[in-house]
Amino acid sequence: MASTAQNTLEPLRAPVDNKAKDEDMEEELEYSPFYGIEKGAVLQEARVFNDSHVDPRRCQQVITKLLYLLTQGESFTKSEASDVFFSVTKLFQHKDVHLRRMVYLIIKEIIPSSDEVIIITSSLMKDMNSTNDLYRANAIRVLCRIIDNQMLLQIERYLKQAVVDKSAVVSGAVLAGAIHLAGASAEVIKRWSNEVQEAIQSRHPMVQFQAVALMHALRANDRLAVSKLVTQLTRSGVRSPMAQCLLVRYVAQVIAESQPGQGSEQRPFYDFLESCLRHKSEVVIFEAARAICNMRDVTTRELTPAVTVLQLFLSSSKPVLRFAAVRTLNKVAMSHPMAVTNCNIDMESLIADPNRSIATLAITTLLKTGNESSIDRLLKQIGGFMSEIADEFKVVVVEAIKALCLKFPQKYRGLMNFLSNVLREDGGFEYKKAIVDAILALLQEIPEAKEMGLAQLCEFIEDCEFTFLSVQILHLLGEEGPKTKDPARYIRYIYNRVVLENATVRAAALSSLARFGAHCPELRDRVILLIKRALFDNDDEVRDRATLYLYQLTRAPEGPESLDPHWRIPAKGLEAALAAYLEQPDPEQPFDLASVPEAVAASPAKPKAKPQGLAAAVAAGLSAAAAPETHADEYADMLKAVPQLAALGPVFKTCKPLQLTEEETEYKVACVRHVLESHLVLQFNCTNTVREQVLEEVSVTVDLADAEGFTEEAVLPLKEMPHDGVGQTYVVLAREPGSMALGRFLNILRFRVKEIDPSTGEAEEEGYEDEYQLEDVEVAAANYIKPSFTPNFRTAWDALPEDSEMVDDYGIGQRDSLQDAVEAVGRILGMQACEGTDAVPPNARSHTLLLSGTVVGDVQALVRLAFGIDAQRNVAMKLAVRSESVEVSEAIHAIIQEA
């Protein structure tokens, strides 16, 4: 079945590119037995099960194909599964031993429905009492997979006796089946405790292993019971290496759930783990060493014996031991690099290991544990090593070199030269992108390396074959090049891209050149001359950019503002002004941008007939959903247009509008919450629907009695609430910078009412004060989180500190499907789904959702949600959160708890 791991449409062995041997290779070419397999054809072949004279070999081949389809994720409809099941049951009449074993396998994989199980039960019961141990074992395995609680009670006596059967095959089959049944029928299986205890003392390794696993499965939900089981097994001892490995894992679980020892006090069961380091089985030794290395808050004294054992494995003749040891040491080096330094000599010898995975892990571990004096020697060894490994391993090495450079910034010259050299070598896009990203990160963190890195990137784009990387580097040159001591040196490299590259790169190069002209007055004339040469380019985008930049550099105000002017005109205001301009019958004057007000003006709506019936219902639904149509950038423009709000800084997140009034009331108010670094701005969008009144001096009074983390800083009233238009009044609340202050606000709309005289159409002069009670506004922790894109979730997860991780289980209740539960939790947290995990496969019983977000204060937070659904559609969820702050992890759990 090893061939099933490959593409079924390709041969097992591709032909060698040697024309002289083509004919010989055609004869020797091996094809997968599942090449071109299709479900429909296999189901047609399954009719051979109904033949009067059954061919055992032919039936085995068809069953093998069916099993292959099932294991590859192919789903059978209920009718297809039923047809196959009924056909297979007829094969019980045949006496061929090999065919009978295949029949057991296919029945176990199809899992017939409850009304079909009864058909096969009698045959399986007969085999369970057979004298043939293989028949008995296989029949028990199938029964444990397909029976329900009621049928389990009927055959419990047979299964209970089989636990202590003299045949290890039969006993192991019952124990394996009981592990599967323990989830739904735990009370029945618990009655077998005496027999399972006897099986734990069995001399057969597999029986003892499965008995230990079953005992733990029955007590997994009870910490005290698990602790007692571990204590009992560590004292009595188990002979099976596999059972001993299980026991080591259970001990590690108990240690993780217990408090570390105070002062010099040892952890519980640490002596047992240390004794396992002297076990005669290598797998037990490694399991114990890994358990010690993974302990929470492990000390160097506790690590020493485990690292010593792993150091011995580094010189083993078995590749699997060397790989396991260096992989574990690589993980230890992330948190305790000094504990691994004694192994550096042994790991240096692994750089030349024929297994490239081992060599890569050895290199990255050495880079993490090395000191300044060893960096140059390591780079020489890696130089010859990089050309021999695949790109995915090269990416790992590049990431390690980047981390080392950030650790020892004074060594940036040697490390940057190394990255520059490997950047010129052959490699795929992901490898080149990793190197470029590493150089960009170093330029940002190490100011001294900026000019050196820019020069290396300029050399790279001369021969770069990847458009994406060329555009990225050209953008960086445009941002950072003008700030260097000699910006003129980069002009040649950038202009070469205008002459020699494709249209996308040419356009990016023009943008970069224009930035040099805008920021460097001494280079402006030279840049204008070069941009003029692109006016006759054969690509529209390039010509348009050249025309725009020439205008900006020659006619607009000089300086950076000429290229990046501050756009103070709100998009809605510009749209309204353009619409009014186009409505003129014959506009003679050109449109004047200066005529557009910098504040949002409310345009009077055209009078409409009041909708009735179904139209009224549709209009009500549309008006309720109208507020979210305004995009976050438009809201940001509104705030920038108000000087008092523009001074507060950039907006971190704009939340969806909340309707604070009923749809049919005379005053409509919606609240938009803007989260800033140290402020919360409440924007109240107000509309007056009463024609006979003019509302002036409109403001909202916010009661902060239930929001202790906020203080009112300013209130910006609305001069006049427009009729059937939208006006804004603002309340600015201050809070601690970067904090996640929570609370509920009581809101009262205050205004001055002036009645309109119907005879003259003018409002009265004085008017009177009035107020209107609004709905409460709540600020929750989710309002401080915005979605963020994370291309590689696993790498980002591992990069966050483990001590910030918080895990807990939650019950969601009944849901129609897992997709429904995933969407609901995603909406509550308001984070970005990663790697397409927001889509749940059809009929899935479990699913993992990966979410990424940024919390106010630019704190990254990652969420891993494991969902499961049972037969009654009850959904359970395991929530794991990692972030750059423990408080943020707690806040995300609080969001789910409150929801």
Q: Consecutive 10-residue runs of the chain (899 residues): their mean pLDDT?
A: 41 45 50 77 88 87 89 85 86 84 85 72 80 84 81 83 86 87 83 87 88 87 86 85 90 79 66 89 92 85 89 90 91 83 84 84 81 74 73 81 78 82 83 87 82 88 88 90 88 88 90 88 87 89 89 69 62 81 76 67 40 31 37 76 83 89 85 91 88 86 87 88 80 88 89 81 80 89 84 82 88 83 86 82 81 88 89 87 88 83
Which pLDDT does position 320 carry in this prediction?
92
Q: Do 535 and 649 have their domain in common?
A: no
Question: Among 297, 321, 344, where does a domain finish?
Answer: 297
pLDDT of residue 107: 84
Give dist(CA 685, CA 721) in Å, integer. Answer: 9
Query: What is the predicted pLDDT for the residue at 623?
Result: 37
**Together in a domain, 790 and 762:** no
Token reading at 886:
């423990």
* Dihedral angle sign, alpha carbons of residues 803, 804, 805, 809: positive
Q: Into how many domains does the chain fold? A: 4
In this structure, are 705 and 793 located in the same domain? Answer: no
Neighbours of 228 (CB within 10 A): 12
Q: Looking at residue 740, which CATH number applies to its domain?
A: 2.60.40.1480
Cα 694 to Cα 339, 659, 686, 763, 764: the distances in Å are 77, 22, 13, 7, 9
Among candidate residues 742, 762, 779, the one where a domain is terminated: 779
801 and 733 part of one domain: no
Amino acid identity of residue 858, one-letter, is D
Q: Tell me, yes or no, whether 502 lies in a domain.
A: yes
Question: Could you identify the residue written with the tokens 């989710």?
Answer: 782
Query: What six digits make up the tokens of 325?
Result: 């040891």
Kindly state whether residue 769 falls inside one of the protein's structural domains: yes
**3-state SS assignment for residue 1:** coil
Within-domain flag for 407: no
Q: Are residues 773 and 810 in the same domain?
A: no
Does the residue 835 lie in any domain? Answer: yes
Give me the pLDDT at residue 31, please: 61
Both 698 and 756 in one domain: the answer is yes
Give the 3-state DSSP-derived string for 517-562, with helices as H, strands as E and coil as C.
HHHCHHHHHHHHHHHHCCCCCCCHHHHHHHHHHHHHHHCCCCCHHH
Residue at 187 is within a domain:
no
Q: Are residues 663 and 747 in the same domain?
A: yes
687 and 794 share one domain: no
Residue 715: inside a domain: yes
Listing DSSP states for 189-231 in one string gives: HHTTHHHHHHHHT-SSHHHHHHHHHHHHHHHTT-HHHHHHHHH
pLDDT score of 560: 57
Answer yes or no: is 877 within a domain: yes
What is the CATH classification number for the domain harbouring 857?
A: 3.30.310.10
Question: pTM score, two decimals?
Answer: 0.52
User: Are 206 and 174 in contact, with CB atoms under 8 Å apart?
Assistant: no
Listed residues 240, 275, 297: the one ending a domain: 297
Residue 352 lies in a domain: no
| Same domain (yes/no): 716, 829 | no
Please check whether residue 98 is in contact with residue 60, taking contact to mean a CB–CB distance below 8 angstroms: yes
Residues 639 and 768 in one domain: yes
Q: 764 and 831 share a domain?
A: no
Do 768 and 647 belong together in one domain? yes
Residue 489: give the domain boundaries.
466-562
DSSP state letters, 774-834: ---EEE-GGGGEEE---S-HHHHHHHS-GGG-EEEEEEEEE-S-HHHHHHHHHHHHT-EE-
